[in-house]
Structure 1
């Protein structure tokens, strides 16, 4: 049963203490907010406690929070946190009326719209607030937030947004607009990573020095933010996942599902999705998304730097 609205505490809940969620939760702590982090991983919870926060094993412990951020992987996890198994026993039913759910995962815009309506029926406020910037920007409180929601939602989350973001885009008054813009971003991000991998595969197949190639392209018109950011992972032979291959299998599938809803063909995004799907099928799903280059390597059998090679190179 929901508690009275005057029982809402000033605590901020963060569900999901992965790379993005941990950084975000720690940024909130640094700004003096009272934060409870929730994750199924005991290691993640212990790390957040070491940073000065409180932790919870289950979302139910966040029922009294004034704002809860969902920094989870996908819509299925959002459903599980908010509504529980088969719509029973989730966090949403236990939160006090007037509390805010900040939905930060990449989900289909149509799902974000429907979620806002379901939460409103429970007396809750939703801020559609997908985030971008990676783990590094999350740690420094410099994320970009692509958001949409009511004036009430922004008023109640002002301190949270100020602590976690360098830029907050206010894109509309209802949930859905934020997720729509994030989907465009993910379309471009996935295409650019796949294109960067393909370009490096082309260079490697022609016998070029990949370090020199990287330097030339990053000072030329062919550069992109993703090329500049992801190709160093290839040059170091380090595929430790900062953002995994399977994330773009998920996100580009959402792009395509939305395209089907709109009857909009997207062949370029389709090609990128096939490359990420091939990488995942080859067992690379949990490696860094730059590992999509290995799909090309397995077809053409060119050399790529190995991690130990990178360690031997002078810095």
Structure 2
């Protein structure tokens, strides 16, 4: 890839903004787009990019990165804004969906884009806002088009420290959903332990210190529980709605392969129940629902 390559980035939220900044810092010609035009203009100014004001601003763009909440929004961003971004891209363009999308919908989108002469790569990320900022995300990359991968890889590398090749199109999004299910299971179990321990009379900081020095340790206990749950900051940057959505994708994936997945079903239920009461808060605030739920029961 050379510096004349034009790249687009759609979705400038908590993760997308620093990711786009890292792409811009690699020295390529970057066009950014967000539903919040003021936000797009602000980020474009800060990173030396150009904020798109219409789909035609994506004329001759060769690679488009999407970082959006759902598969449906990804499709809307590509087809439903004006006359459609896809109709302005360069021939043989590549779209890299780094969102936490549904793998079955990813496969369907791939077929539609292929009809427009555009290749799709799914490359969801893990590492949170901190790793997005430093350009050290872990990437789960799925695609069966070697030429598309070769074309997009330098852009993906500018945002990551490790890239796992997971298989064909959709496999990256499947892997991301499973990863987030495991993380959500750890979150749910750890919060449950905090609630039980607190009711018994244990100090939550003590519980956390023991977990992090024992076999209960996980990425969640080391990086999330302390500031955002035990100290009640609730500022991880990842919403309960998105967490619930990702676990739901994993649950649907289990159903698609005819696996009962009782743990995934239980975690999905816990997340859904918390979301229905608390709304779209930071996911770490879910503990307040579980605490209240047990208080209401009076047991």
- Same topology, TM > 0.5: yes
3-state SS of paired residue (1:65): coil
Alpha-carbon distance in structure 2 between the residues aligned to 1:33 and 1:165: 16
Q: What is the alpha-carbon root mean square deviation over aligned residues?
A: 1.9
Partner residue in 2 for 1:263: 258
Partner residue in 1 for 2:42: 47
Do the aligned partners of 2:274 and 2:290 also contact (CA within 8 Å) in 1?
no
Do the aligned partners of 1:65 and 1:99 also contact (CA within 8 Å) in 2?
yes
Alpha-carbon distance in structure 2 between the residues aligned to 1:115 and 1:159: 23
Partner residue in 2 for 1:10: 5
Do the aligned partners of 2:55 and 2:88 also contact (CA within 8 Å) in 1?
no
Alpha-carbon distance in structure 2 between the residues aligned to 1:269 and 1:246: 16
Alpha-carbon distance in structure 1 between the residues aligned to 2:171 and 2:59: 27
Do the aligned partners of 2:93 and 2:118 also contact (CA within 8 Å) in 1?
yes
Partner residue in 2 for 1:298: 292
Q: Per-residue deviation at 1:144? A: 0.9
Q: 1:21 aligns with which of 16, 34, 38?
A: 16
CA 1:241/1:214 → structure 2, altered by over 3 Å: closer, same or farther?
closer
Partner residue in 2 for 1:307: none
Matched, 1:107 2:101: yes
Partner residue in 2 for 1:308: none
Partner residue in 1 for 2:220: 226
The aligned length equals 290
Q: Per-residue deviation at 1:96? A: 2.4
Alignment of 1:1-315 (within 5 A): 10-48=5-43, 49-84=45-80, 89-149=83-143, 150-172=145-167, 174-232=168-226, 233-240=228-235, 242-283=237-278, 285-301=279-295
Q: Per-residue deviation at 1:91? A: 1.7
Q: Per-residue deviation at 1:53? A: 2.2
Q: Per-residue deviation at 1:33? A: 2.2
Do the aligned partners of 1:38 and 1:59 also contact (CA within 8 Å) in 2?
no
CA 1:84/1:248 → structure 2, altered by over 3 Å: closer, same or farther?
same
Any runs of at least 4 consecutive aligned residues in structure 1 with deviations exceeding 3 A, and if so which?
Answer: 57-60
Q: Per-residue deviation at 1:194? A: 1.1
Alpha-carbon distance in structure 1 between the residues aligned to 2:84 and 2:55: 8
Alpha-carbon distance in structure 1 between the residues aligned to 2:147 and 2:166: 15
Alpha-carbon distance in structure 2 between the residues aligned to 1:105 and 1:34: 22
Q: Per-residue deviation at 1:300? A: 3.1
Do the aligned partners of 2:205 and 2:230 also contact (CA within 8 Å) in 1?
yes
Partner residue in 2 for 1:312: none
Structure 1, unmatched stretches of 5+, are 1-8, 303-315
Do the aligned partners of 1:40 and 1:57 also contact (CA within 8 Å) in 2?
no
Alpha-carbon distance in structure 2 between the residues aligned to 1:60 and 1:71: 20
Alpha-carbon distance in structure 2 between the residues aligned to 1:256 and 1:103: 21
Q: Output the TM-score relative to the length of structure 2.
A: 0.91
CA 1:23/1:70 → structure 2, altered by over 3 Å: closer, same or farther?
same
Do the aligned partners of 1:205 and 1:300 also contact (CA within 8 Å) in 2?
no
Alpha-carbon distance in structure 2 between the residues aligned to 1:270 and 1:58: 42
